[in-house]
Amino acid sequence: MALVYLIKIFRLQILDSQYEQKAINNALNKIPIYPDRSIIYDRNGKLLVHNIAIYDLVVFPAKAKGIDSVAFCEIMRITGDEYHKYMTLARENSKKRQKNNVFNGSAVFMSNLTKDQYSAIQENLYRFPGFSVEPKTDRLYAVKGGAHILGYMGEVSKKLLSKDPYYRPGDLVGITGIENTYESYIRGVKGVKTVWQDRTYTERGEAKDNEFNSPAQSGPDFFSSIDFELQEFGESLLDNKRGSVVAIEPSTGEILALINKPDYDPNLLVGEARSKSFKQLLIDPKKPLYNRAIKGVYPPGSTFKTVMALIACQEGVLKPSTLHGCSGGYHLGKLTVGCHPHGSPTDLKHSIGISCNAYYCQVFRDIIDNPKYANVKAGYASLEKHLHSFGLGNKLGVDLPGENKGNVPSLKQLDKRHGKNWKSSMIISLAIGQGEILLTPMQMANCAAIIANKGWFITPHLVKGIGTSRYLPEDFKKKHYTTVSELYYDWIIDGMELVPKPGGTATGTGFEDIVICSKTGTAQNPHGQDHSLYIAFAPRDKPKIAIAVIVENGGYGATWAAPIANLMIEKYLNKGKESQRPEMLNRIRTSTVN
């Protein structure tokens, strides 16, 4: 019998290490050390986002038995029911983490303490064994604008908790914007401080062995592509209006400005005011949380004529000398698509400069009724393929959550709406950017960038570089080519150059020292006055900025969208100089569009 016991003891103590490991684990309490999140800068090094310290109240449930919960509730200003709710949840989370051997023992009791709660508990911690305060970081925004770019933080969801063991209940994560898309970089890496504890869970000092400890690693510096001076300027122009502005550097796909109005101060969603402010913003009828730039979809109106012209050139049904007449619009039987008064007939270049609807109705029919196709549906299928190559009807892949793909109507959609025997005349509104075609402001700006580049684009993005190496994801280095040959772009650009000049549809909005190539648009709106649209790029040679502006219910493109876009182009290209059109700048800044 003695020999049997000796052998058993030998196996347990010498050969089998599992019980030793369990004893060690029971004697250790792993405390997470939260890293600083990345500091975010704009493309010129301007500070946009940094960190502030916030605090969680953490509990070791096994050690907190028998405390004066009434006094605790009075100090923390919570009810008895809330205390039991928090403690029950903390016990559950503590057991889960012990089971997984992750930061075993402790669990968050209350996250993101208010200043009053933090001060009160710090003075009284000695009265409540098992409780401690752990610091972590929240965000502070050094700017009041750019909320939809930067995003905001919120408590980690149950879904993410179940998927990623990095987080624990109460942790803050990026919910929208850069904070969300680049969370895995920005959050840094948590560290661990391990302390020894006895069987009564009393702390007996820090475990010095590196096996049990690791330092926190701060998130790398994050450099955004945004030019915040341009961003703020654009926001001031869009004040008291509803709409969006997107500006892109054509050669890189870097987003220079992304503006939505109405918007909000990002610091409203920081710290103890976060929950209350979010609820107020969520029910605000102006929808300040809505990112119109990537989620809003609008008929592109006459801005779409540039794309239609390019496709027609590729299809061989349009060239610079092509003439089409206009007698107050396009007429076919009982069908009439109206147009404003202008000289007739007109060629390709001037059809863009004066924005002739009749010209593009005929061009549209020439594309899809082309005899080289077996029928109108085959012709439309070819048109649809071209449109998709411009990134229309698909998500571009911009680095923001929630991007809308817009709508390029499929044959199935057209069959459903117009019957299976539809003709080109029945969908003629597509020719001038109306009907079923819907684009986001981001897609419109990207079309301007494609024309500026004469046939290609890089996926629009908000990151310029991460860390000292300025790391950039490979997706944002790749060129995407359209199905339209580079040969045809100058024909359309010749017409776009006329738009802001005398006689063009945006007369009086251009500048003598900047060659702006653009296209106005007026999109019909079933819910009120037409939307004002404009796309542009500048300068013509080696373009540095492409832009799209939409002002909801703004009427003609030349009234609001064109001045806003051209003023932003001037601001970006003539840095540090006064505007050549102070009267236009003053009108835009002081006006309200309902």
Structural fold of domain 27-224: Penicillin-binding protein 2a (Domain 2) (3.90.1310)
| Beta sheet of 28-33, edge-to-edge order | 28-33, 191-197, 203-206
Q: What is the pLDDT of residue 214?
A: 84
CA 353 distance to own-chain centroid? 33
Phi first, then psi: give them for residue 459, nearest 5 degrees.
-50, 125
Give pLDDT tens digits for 155-167: 899 899 889 988 8
CA 241 distance to own-chain centroid? 20
Longest dimension (CA), the chain: 115
Q: Where does the pLDDT of residue 460 fall: very low under 50, low under 70, confident under 90, or very high at 90 and above?
A: very high
Q: What is the pLDDT of residue 577?
A: 94
Give pLDDT tens digits for 531-573: 999 999 999 999 999 999 999 999 999 999 999 999 999 999 9
- Residues with Cβ within 8 Å of 338's Cβ and at least 6 positions away in sequence, in order, are 328, 329, 357
Beta pairing partners, 260? 244
What's 102's DSSP letter? S
What's 136's DSSP letter? E
Closest by Cα among 138, 141, 112 to 265: 141
Give pLDDT tens digits for 103-119: 456 788 998 888 889 99
Evaluated on CA atoms 455, 459, 463, 466, the torsion sign reads negative
**Cα 270 from Cα 7, distance rounded (Å):** 62
- Residues with Cβ within 8 Å of 177's Cβ and at least 6 positions away in sequence, in order, are 147, 148, 149, 150, 151, 152, 400, 401
Count of other CB atoms within 10 angstroms of residue 341 = 8
Helix, coil or strand: residue 154: strand
Query: If residue 191 lies in a helix (H) or strand (E), which one and from where to where?
Result: strand 191-197
Checking if the pLDDT of 141 tops 80, the result is: yes
Residue identified by tokens 């239609």 is 308
Q: How far is CA 486 from CA 379, 454, 490, in A?
A: 22, 5, 8
Evaluated on CA atoms 420, 424, 426, 431, the torsion sign reads positive
Which has more pLDDT, 290 or 199?
290
Q: Over pLDDT 70: what percentage of the chain?
A: 92
Give pLDDT tens digits for 409-441: 999 999 999 999 999 999 999 999 999 999 999
Question: Mean of the pLDDT values across residues 210-231?
Answer: 91
| Beta sheet of 531-538, edge-to-edge order | 254-261, 243-249, 545-551, 531-538, 517-523
Question: Mean of the pLDDT values across residues 7-28?
Answer: 59
Residue at 373: amino acid letter? Y
Count of other CB atoms within 10 angstroms of residue 329 = 15
Residue identified by tokens 């949380």 is 289
Give pLDDT tens digits for 225-253: 999 999 999 999 999 999 999 999 999 99
What's 63's DSSP letter? G
Q: Where does the pLDDT of residue 204 fall: very low under 50, low under 70, confident under 90, or very high at 90 and above?
A: low
**Cα 507 from Cα 499, distance rounded (Å):** 7
Provide the mean pLDDT of the chain. Answer: 91
Query: If residue 550 lies in a helix (H) or strand (E), which one and from where to where?
Result: strand 545-551
Per-residue three-class SS string for 70-91: HHHHHHHCCCHHHHHHHHHHHH
**Cα 154 from Cα 275, distance rounded (Å):** 9
Per-residue three-class SS string for 273-314: HHHHHHHHHHHCCCCCCCCHHHHCCECCHHHHHHHHHHHHHH
Q: Where does the pLDDT of residue 19 fall: very low under 50, low under 70, confident under 90, or very high at 90 and above?
A: very low
Q: What is the pLDDT of residue 594?
A: 84
pTM for this predicted structure: 0.89
Nearest-5° angle of CA 217, CA 221, CA 226? Answer: 150
Give pLDDT tens digits for 337-366: 999 999 999 999 999 999 999 999 999 999
Beta-sheet pairing, 40-41 with 222-224 = parallel
Count of other CB atoms within 10 angstroms of residue 429 = 16
Which has more pLDDT, 371 or 165?
371
Question: Mean of the pLDDT values across residues 572-579?
Answer: 95
Which residues of the chain are in CATH 3.90.1310.10 domains?
27-224
**Cα 534 from Cα 444, distance rounded (Å):** 9
What tokens were used for 514? 């900047």
Q: Does domain 228-590 have CATH number 3.40.710.10?
A: yes
Which residues of the chain are in CATH 3.40.710.10 domains?
228-590
**Cα 418 from Cα 437, distance rounded (Å):** 15
Evaluated on CA atoms 575, 577, 581, 587, the torsion sign reads positive
What tokens were used for 224? 């955004």
- Residues with Cβ within 8 Å of 480's Cβ and at least 6 positions away in sequence, in order, are 391, 456, 457, 458, 459
What tokens were used for 84? 């039991």
Q: What is the pLDDT of residue 203?
A: 56
Checking if the pLDDT of 173 tops 50, the result is: yes
- Residues with Cβ within 8 Å of 84's Cβ and at least 6 positions away in sequence, in order, are none
Phi first, then psi: give them for residue 329, nearest 5 degrees.
140, -175
What's 567's DSSP letter? H
Beta pairing partners, 131? 59
